[in-house]
A = this chain, B = another copy of it.
Amino acid sequence: MKYQLKLKHLIAGNWVGGSESFKSSPSSGSSHSFPVGTNELVDQAVKDAEKAFITYSQTSRQDRANFLRVIAEEIDALGDAITAIAGEETGLPSARLEGERGRTCGQLRMFSDVLEKGDYLDCRHDVALPERTPLPRPELRLMQLPVGPIAVFGASNFPLAFSTAGGDTASALAAGCPVVVKAHQAHPGTSDLVAQAIESAIHRTGMPGGVFSMVHGGSRLVGEALVKHPLISAVGFTGSLAGGRALFDLCAQRPIPIPFFGELGSVNPMFILPGAAAERGEEIGRGWAASLTMGAGQFCTNPGIIVVIEGESADKLVDAAKVALAGAAPQTMLTDGIAVAYKEGQKRVSHTSGVRSILTSKCDGRQA
């Protein structure tokens, strides 16, 4: 592997270590030590982001489009190295991670195109009407402007497309806003390599160092400090409803509230109408099972609950789903914590009266 892990935070162009550290918990391969994030590092990263904002917000759309394309180039260049470490850390299969890398670079390039078109600026120009009665109208101009440094939280289930250089980072950088990423501690090595790619792009395009920083986690205070920092202007988050709600509340409670852009999970209930159940119940059952087990059931689109009217059609649907689920191979959970939560969920459901268990999979470590 031609890329070396830095095993440090990236603060405005400098790789910074720390006294405290935490160990990564990969599903395979060796564990590494990463420094724990601190309030001081968050403060430094955000202050450097604010400094960079002064110049970065004034760069041309063409320069920013070029910057995003070079980031994509650098991530593409990580090639098998990023697939290898992301696979070790998350247990996701290589094909999925290669697809996700393509998506990540595709997003970055898409935002370059958006920048070049420029219609997102929503420019409006109402000319003055000095003769208007009862009052003259002054000239009015409106366009979208970048707001300031943005905090981005990486997602456990999308180590690339919704993490360090994912959609939130790409859109913020496109808009002219510096980004401070809180790396997800489930894949600190993946975050490390992607941060190196962004750092290279900053050097190659002459952007200010403060335009991107990444602070590792290891302490839940890191995320809180980031969201509460007075110079942070908005937050991008992908993750659980509980975690998202806690950060949303911090955003809303600030002396000056800021927007929280969250993509949170759901049980995604599905309602099967009688006609559909009668006509293609078995097909729906098989399809539902396939969607349920996709990515070890850790997608936020996981269809956790299916509602169907009792009867022959429902039985056929359930049987088809059961057969399909029984044939599904075990998969690796993204983190130890998710694997434990899965086992606890199984236990809870099996002890709930009125619930009849149709199929239960065996769990072993992070496998389920």
Contact = CB atoms under 8 A, between A and B. Distances in A.
A102 B257 CA distance: 35
A135 interface: yes
Interface string A251-293: 0110001000000000000000000000000000000000000
Interface in A92-122: 95, 99, 102
Contact of A102 (B102, B134, B249, B253): B134
A99 B135 CA distance: 9
Contacts of A95: 134
A248 interface: yes
Contacts of A248: 252, 257
Interface residues of A, number: 10
Interface in A210-258: 248-249, 252-253, 257
Contacts of A252: 248-249, 252-253, 257
Residue among A95, A102, A134, A253 with the highest chain B CB neighbour number at 10 A: A134
Given A95-B134, A102-B134, 8 more contacts: A99-B134, A99-B135, A248-B252, A248-B257, A249-B252, A249-B253, A252-B253, A252-B257
Contacts of A257: 248, 252
Contacts of A99: 134-135
Nearest to A102: B134
Interface in A119-154: 134-135
A115 to B, nearest CB: 18
Nearest to A99: B134
11 contacts: A95-B134, A99-B134, A99-B135, A102-B134, A248-B252, A248-B257, A249-B252, A249-B253, A252-B252, A252-B253, A252-B257
A227 to B, nearest CB: 14
A124 to B, nearest CB: 12
Nearest to A251: B252
A252 B245 CA distance: 10
A103 to B, nearest CB: 9
A95 B134 CA distance: 10
A221 to B, nearest CB: 22
Q: 4 tightest CB-CB pairs across the interface, nearest first?
A: A252-B252, A99-B134, A248-B257, A102-B134
